[in-house]
Amino acid sequence: MIHIKSPQDIEEYKAAGSLSKAALRLAGTLVRPGVSTLEIDRRVEQFIRLHGGIPAFKGYGGFPGTVCASPNEAIVHGIPSATTFLNDGDIISIDTGATVNGWVGDNAWTFYVGNVSTEVQGLCEVTRDCLKAGIAQAVPGNRLGDIGHAVQSLAERHGYGVVREYVGHGVGHVMHEDPNVPNYGKKGRGVKLQVGMIIAIEPMITLGTYANHVLSNGWTVVTDDGLPAAHYENTIAITADGPVILTADEDGPWCAMQGGTK
Ligand code: MG
């Protein structure tokens, strides 16, 4: 069942979206060669709690972290670890969510660790563009397939893979609401988008195959071929004036994030 939000709900949601974005921005400042993913996780948890939020992912389905930290071939749901250190040339996808006043924020970004190859930077740039293309389709009267088609067609035009098993979703008082928001689809198909829907759009795009599997820890999703994946996510409201990005702060959703000016 899709929960339609009132204008007041959407205003209230912004505190959760904004804190989730600030947490993601903080995570990005901590990314450097030699840092452990658990160090990032601990700092982000402190930050969220200090600002009156609750880490939304911690304990969700038993997930142990505040952030999902997914390096290189990890697509999503990487578990922060004291023994996973970032190395020059890596990429790291970090997903942060904070609950504020009962609303759940959700956003993600792929950061560069030191000097990243132009090939992998290209993957990240196109994935950011996929997110923007998906958001642009999130207008009343369009359908979910319009979002998915925009993401998929752009990624595949560059020869990249589009992950099928994990998708965007409705968000509200719980993290995963209806509808699912796939990163693939056909124009004009699927659920019609209505004013008052809040959805997380989150392309997961791979350099090689999109085939993937879950590691034995039960969480971390990795590409079968071991090639890198990128993941960018914003939560948006569908309004009569078009999509409004709710995971934004005073600097907006992109500015001052790596690659955000592109
Ligand atoms: Mg999400």
| pLDDT tens string 176-194 | 999 999 999 999 999 999 9
Kindly give the residue spans of alpha helices, DSSP state H, lying in the chain: 7-30, 37-50, 118-136, 144-157
- The number of distinct structural domains making up the chain is 1
| 126 assigned to some structural domain | yes
Contact 92, 37 (CB under 8 A): yes
| pTM score | 0.96
Integer Rg of the chain from CA = 17
* Three-class DSSP category at 47: helix
Q: Does residue 152 contact residue 184 with C-beta atoms inside 8 Å?
A: yes
In a domain, 255, yes or no: no
User: Would 252 be classed as within a structural domain?
Assistant: no
Please name every residue paired with 236 in a beta bridge, in sequence order, or none if there are none. 199, 245
Q: Both tokens of residue 102?
A: 């009962």
Rounded distance between C-alpha atoms, residue 256 and residue 172, angstroms: 27
Which element (helix H / strand E) includes 75?
Answer: strand 74-76
CA of 78 to the centre of ligand 1 (A): 14
Q: Does any domain span residue 250?
A: no
Q: If DSSP codes are grouped into helix, strand and coil, which group holds residue 99?
A: strand
pLDDT score recorded for residue 259: 65
2, part of any domain: no
What's the CA-to-centroid distance between 157 and ligand 1, angstroms?
25
List residues, by chain if needed, whose CB lies under 5 Å from ion ligand 1.
106, 200
Q: State which residues form the domain around 58.
A: 7-245
**Token digits for 211?**
């085939």
Q: Is 236 inside any structural domain?
A: yes
Each of the 262 residues of the chain gets a pLDDT tens digit; together they read: 999 999 999 999 999 999 999 999 999 999 999 999 999 999 999 999 999 999 999 999 999 999 999 999 999 999 999 999 999 999 999 999 999 999 999 999 999 999 999 999 999 999 999 999 999 999 999 999 999 999 999 999 999 999 999 999 999 999 999 999 999 999 999 999 999 999 999 999 999 999 999 999 999 999 999 999 999 999 999 999 999 999 987 777 676 677 664 3
What's the CATH code of the domain at 211?
3.90.230.10
Ligand 1 centroid distance, CA of 66 (Å): 14
pLDDT at 85: 98
For 196-227, b where at least 16 C-beta lie within 10 A, e where not — what string? bbbbbbbbbbbbbebebeeeeeebbbbbeeeb
Q: Are 105 and 19 in contact (CB under 8 A)?
A: yes
List, edge to edge, every strand of the sheet that includes 103-104: 54-55, 98-100, 103-104
What are the backbone dihedrals phi and psi of residue 181, each rounded to the nearest 5 degrees, phi first? -125, 85
d(CA 56, CA 169): 15
Please say whether the dihedral angle defined by the alpha carbons of residues 251, 231, 112 and 59, taken in this order, is positive or negative.
positive
Helices vs strands, H then E, count in the chain: 4, 17
Q: Give the separation between CA 171 and CA 236, rounded to whole angstroms.
A: 9
Please give the distance, rounded to the nearest whole angstrom, from the Cα atom of residue 216 to the centre of ligand 1.
22
Cα(168) to ligand 1 centroid in Å equals 6
Which amino acid does the sequence have at 181? V
Q: Is residue 44 part of a domain?
A: yes
d(CA 259, CA 262): 6
162 in any annotated domain: yes
Centroid of ligand 1 to alpha carbon of 36 (angstroms)? 23
